[in-house]
Amino acid sequence: MGNLQYNQGEPKYFEKVISFNDRLAPLLIRNTLYSLIPEGTKHIFVVGIGSNLISGDSLGPFVGTLLGNSFPKHLTVLGNLEFPMDATKIVPEISQFNFPTNSFVISIDSVLGSADFVNSIVLRRGPLQPGLGLGHNLPPIGDCSVMGVVLTNDAVLGSHLLYTNLHLIYTMATNIAKGISLAVRQFFHYPSDHPILHVS
């Protein structure tokens, strides 16, 4: 669970803010991500941050599960509902993982934000710092951040996160996963009929 804020000296602008249920959300996410992936990128990593035990903090793992093994040659997912990348695993897992040269890392997490951004998907250039919303001091992750704003900063976390609307989380996760898949499919020139979501 992150927090929608900026570090000192960081440009104070968002790449893109999208309503969680915008019918064009996957295309808007694809367009934004495609514009951020550098030329020469050989592989994309998605880090789905969060817990499978707390509905309000499950966005990242949901996205990871939906993406699955859709593009094995070009996309690797770290964190899903079966093996979540939660606060207890982020530091040991990420610190031992060496992202290869010419890779691009997309971090996904549920975040707290101002009332204006609640129920929005926010895409931003630069890393995401997980755990801020829950008081953790964890290392920043990613070249790009995809954040689902699920609650306001003044929420009482102990109860609200447990009872966050799963329709909101699932809709956000589906739109984000579709957007990432569409971006990967376009960037690496897969055929237009290549499946975009993992189906078990």
**Which pLDDT tens digit goes with each residue over 56-95?**
899 999 999 999 999 999 999 999 999 999 878 887 888 7
- Residue 127, domain member (yes or no): yes
Burial label for 192, CB within 10 Å (0-12, 13-18, 19+), is exposed
**151: pLDDT strictly greater than 90:** no
**Which pLDDT tens digit goes with each residue over 102-146?**
999 999 999 988 888 899 999 999 999 887 766 677 888 999 999
- Residue 200, domain member (yes or no): no
SS3 103: strand
**6: pLDDT strictly greater than 70:** no
- Give me the CATH number covering residue 164: 3.40.50.1450
Say how many Å lie between the first and final Cα of the chain, rounded.
Answer: 27
**197: pLDDT strictly greater than 60:** yes
Quickly state the pLDDT bin for 200 (edges 50, 70, 90).
Answer: low
**Which pLDDT tens digit goes with each residue over 23-36?**
999 999 999 999 99
- Residue 193, domain member (yes or no): no
- Residue 195, domain member (yes or no): no
- Mean pLDDT of the region 162-187: 94
Please give the share of the chain, as a percent, with pLDDT higher than 70.
Answer: 88
Residue 157 is predicted with a pLDDT of 57
- Residue 199, domain member (yes or no): no
- Mean pLDDT of the region 186-196: 95
- Residue 20, domain member (yes or no): yes
- Residue 114, domain member (yes or no): yes
**Enclosing domain of residue 86:** 2-187
Structure tokens at 175: 């739109």
Quickly state the pLDDT bin for 9 (edges 50, 70, 90).
Answer: very low
Residue 47 is predicted with a pLDDT of 96
Residue 155 is predicted with a pLDDT of 55
- Residue 198, domain member (yes or no): no
Q: Domain count of the chain?
A: 1
**CA gap 36, 31 in Å, rounded:** 9
**CA gap 60, 42 in Å, rounded:** 23
Do 177 and 65 touch, CB atoms closer than 8 A?
A: no
Residue 92 is predicted with a pLDDT of 82
> Is the pTM for the entire model greater than 0.85?
yes
Residue 125 dihedral angles phi and psi, to the nearest 5°? -65, 140
